[in-house]
Amino acid sequence: MPLARISIPAHLSPQLARVLADAVHAGLERTCGVPTEDRFQLIFRLPEEAMILDPHFGDVSRTRNASIVEITFLRGRSDAQKRALFQSIAKQAEAGGFASDDIVIALTENSAIDWSLGRGLAYQDL
Amino acid sequence: MPLARISIPAHLSPQLARVLADAVHAGLERTCGVPTEDRFQLIFRLPEEAMILDPHFGDVSRTRNASIVEITFLRGRSDAQKRALFQSIAKQAEAGGFASDDIVIALTENSAIDWSLGRGLAYQDL
Amino acid sequence: MPLARISIPAHLSPQLARVLADAVHAGLERTCGVPTEDRFQLIFRLPEEAMILDPHFGDVSRTRNASIVEITFLRGRSDAQKRALFQSIAKQAEAGGFASDDIVIALTENSAIDWSLGRGLAYQDL
């Protein structure tokens, strides 16, 4: 039950948006044990003036393609898994046409009881 | 002080969007002791390709109307309250025209000191 | 590594949107020790019917300019810092043309290991 909110500049092609979305989910599968089918992603296309992102903070060089990936998922992933997740997402995004400097990722955590995937049922009870 | 972010497919009517928003707030009132007036909701209408949602994960059948409800609220609701909240939202959404399989809900929690409802004041100090 | 999501009514001018974004970042700098360059903000312009905000809850009078500021940042700021942050944001927004009653703020917290600012690196490892 990760939920990813991906905010990208509106000038990026739908293909490139999909590249990033695919990279995010592949990273979750490879490093955090998320099933392939457990995919829930929202993509927000924002005009340039709606993404105010410092060009260099964090010792990188961001371009106008810089994108923000927010992932909410279950508490309990190790620091090593999070490090591997960041690397996996950036690497696959880079292979698909992004600069890896342009991928900013923020994680927030919740608990199993905090999810309902439908039908009004708590995921924990499935 | 719950804040709900409701992401729905752009093809849904404004009426149906409102049905879901009303169901979310009614659920919070009925199960979590949220006052009627304590309503803060944002609705994001997204094109089909911007909502990448697995059609079956969680043992349901999602349609192209599948919608995501994210609620940030105060830490401290019990598991029983969260279960009741999921059921209440799905049931009222269903009564208003949604399939209950189409309602995905994710909760995140914070503290009273994390809210200002205006005037630069911490809600905790009111 | 704060990330701010700022949701404003679409009728607000780009100038006023920027006033609020600047107020949010200046507040983080002044009260929470955030560097000037550590700025990551997303602005969502929403139509009136997509912002369902009670006009009075919290003992204020909201207008149709009411806006929602969500900030995700590192765990560890004191209650006093959060109070000062709310005051700083509201005060500067007011100086720039907002009513301070119109500024709703919600904070959520995560950890240093939850951020990658680019290149697939954990910020914690920089």
The pLDDT value recorded for residue A1 is 86
The residue-averaged pLDDT of A87-97 equals 98
Mean pLDDT of C19-44: 98
Percentage of chain A modeled with pLDDT above 90: 98
pTM of this prediction exceeds 0.90 = yes
Query: Can you tell me the distance from the alpha carbon of B58 to that of C40, in angstroms, rounded to the nearest whole number?
Result: 34
Closest CA to A37 of A51, A25, A52: A25
Question: What percent of chain C has pLDDT above 90?
Answer: 98
Sign of torsion over alpha carbons C120, C107, B47, C45: negative
Given this model, what pLDDT does residue C122 score? 98
> What are the residues of chain B with a beta carbon less than 8 Å away from any beta carbon of chain C?
1, 3, 14, 17-18, 21, 35, 37-45, 72, 108, 110, 113-126
Of C1 and B22, the one with more pLDDT: B22
**Per-residue pLDDT for C1 more than 90?**
no
Other Cβ atoms closer than 10 A to A125: 11
Facing C52 at nearest CB: one of B41, B110, B118: B41
Which of the other chains make 3 or more beta carbon contacts under 8 angstroms with chain B? A, C
Whether the per-residue pLDDT at A116 is higher than 90: the answer is yes
- The stretch A43-64 carries a mean pLDDT of 97
At C89-123, the pLDDT tens digits run 999 999 999 999 999 999 999 999 999 999 999 99
Contact between residue A108 and residue C72 where contact means Cβ atoms under 8 Å apart? yes
Predicted pLDDT of residue C9: 98
Q: Are A41 and A25 in contact (CB under 8 A)?
A: yes
Flag residues of chain B having pLDDT under 70. none
pLDDT at A126: 84
In tens, the pLDDT along B26-56 reads 999 999 999 999 999 999 999 999 999 999 9
**pLDDT for residue B26:** 98
Q: DSSP state, A55?
A: S
Over residues C33-55, the mean pLDDT reads 98
pLDDT recorded at residue B126 = 84
Residues of chain B in contact with residue A40, where contact means CB-CB under 8 angstroms, are 52-54, 57, 68, 104
